[in-house]
Structure 1
């Protein structure tokens, strides 16, 4: 199968590229190398690589020509990064997937896979599933919701569309992140022996990065109209405090510095059902949290990462550096401006 991975050099993309290539797929990676602009070692397993901005319509058409499937997994991740420059986030997380959908439609690509997030559910009592109406709380989640809607509408009747709403991802990658909750706590525990924790009652569903790559391979092999899948496992729903406690069990000598519950900028709080994925692909997402913690701890103790505080391991700090240096900014093309206006209309009153 010929697969175009848009954002295939990122944290999840680097793992997915290796996994799909090992299965024998022809993998074309398109990536702007935002955080590691000069490091192409991550791409050694890709069949081909296009160094391009994911808002570049010509580059998207080049990558999608002859493809059996396109996977859009690029963009800015997390509310802090997206809030740094809302217009840029809209272009990368909403406009770019739409531009790719237009190219897929025009070129007759039969399957489009869009990476989204369980963050779209916001703050909920009880358990959410794929039929729960999204309630996005910030820029990141809002752009994901709109991308889902527009891509699905554009490709209705033209292609299969699979939306993957990922739980919070953890574990090692050739393009490592250490700013997501599990990886961050583990890195802190190994480096300092302490995990700062204020309250910790908010809930997060978790999924290992390798399991995400396996789910992607499974859905690519079984296109089936329009579907939305939460990606994770029911047993991998944790509170923030439970995550910290798991890290302490895995990292010898580590302690939790407990503080009072406080109002957080990230107010997401939800328990997620993954029964639909489990029914379609039994055995999916079987890696437990503690395995991911041990793997990240090993990366640091073995000194495969010698300085976990470098900006390249933190999406927000890396983005700030690129943004302030002028390497990454909103391009304000006619199409990006049109889609930004659509975003502004959809969330009128929620914008800063």
Structure 2
């Protein structure tokens, strides 16, 4: 299968693409390069990559591909603080245009990297794919609206699939330290303290980056009738945790570490648990391998072996918002987050 992966140079993409190549697929990337150089331990594997802003993709760019895996996006809620309209421009409008271009080009399968954040503020129940949407951020709202627009494109020749990833964590060559597990562990390793940014009570569904990559790989080759115009919560049954329990598990694994609260820590309205039984039951071949404890142990070993320092951890390299702000401050990007010609 010939597959285009947008965002192949990001946190998830650099780990997903070698998996797909190893399975025998012909993989091409598409990435604008916001996070070039933000490497941890090793650079991404070489891969043919189209250096195109996802907002500028045309049907001609997509001719000859059997599938598109769409990962590219402003990747978390804090990035929306730069300018919420950019989240809608890149995450919503550009995603829909990309899907339409793919359909025009004859691409048969379009796998969209959605998010459990579209559930927003949930109930006391574990939310399945039929639960109401309740996004509380532009990022979450953009995921809802893309799913709705892609569903309208579904027909006999075009199969969109929506993978609603739980909160990702785990080791990647393009590490992110701005996701909850990686962040708590980074503080623990570099300061001896697990610093909570909230009161610790909210629930989070969690999934290892490699289990996400595995889910995408299975969706790409699954029978059409199983995945056509379907949403799947991506994670593992039993992997919902309150933030305070994540912090305590980090403290149990990292020696001489104490749990504390950051200055100004407040309650977090993003509070939900997710039901992952559909993907484990209905997606052929999907067998998640990672538990939170195993993932923390893996990442702790990598932080330790890599000599992660407090200066490095607090710098812009592993925080997506800080990297983008650095590009803006240095005049590399304009206010629309487009590269400035030099």
Partner of 2:324: 319
Partner of 2:25: 25
* Unmatched 5+ stretches in structure 2: none
Name the Cα RMSD after superposition.
2.2
Residues 142/323 of structure 1: CA separation in 2 closer, same or farther (3 Å cut) = farther
2:51 and 2:272 map into 1 onto residues whose CA distance is 37
Partner of 1:99: 97
Residue 81 of structure 2, aligned match among 80, 83, 86: 83
| Within-5 A mapping of 1:77-226 | 77-125=75-123, 126-197=125-196, 198-222=198-222, 223=224, 224-226=227-229
* Unmatched 5+ stretches in structure 1: 333-352
What SS class does the counterpart of residue 158 from structure 1 fall into?
coil
1:155 and 1:328 map into 2 onto residues whose CA distance is 35
Q: Alpha-carbon deviation of 1:296?
A: 1.7
Partner of 1:286: 289
CA deviation string 1:24-48 (max 9, x = no partner): 1111100011122698x845342x2
Question: Do 2:199 and 2:266's aligned partners in 1 also have CA atoms closer than 8 Å?
Answer: no
Q: Alpha-carbon deviation of 1:154?
A: 2.5
1:269 and 1:218 map into 2 onto residues whose CA distance is 29
1:160 and 1:32 map into 2 onto residues whose CA distance is 26
1:258 and 1:182 map into 2 onto residues whose CA distance is 15
CA deviation string 1:156-181 (max 9, x = no partner): 44311110000000001111111100
Residues 37/85 of structure 1: CA separation in 2 closer, same or farther (3 Å cut) = farther
Count how many residue pairs are aligned between Structure 1 and Structure 2.
Answer: 327
Residues 304/92 of structure 1: CA separation in 2 closer, same or farther (3 Å cut) = farther
Partner of 1:272: 274
Residues 328/9 of structure 1: CA separation in 2 closer, same or farther (3 Å cut) = farther
Residues 138/249 of structure 1: CA separation in 2 closer, same or farther (3 Å cut) = same
Question: Do 1:105 and 1:159's aligned partners in 2 also have CA atoms closer than 8 Å?
Answer: yes
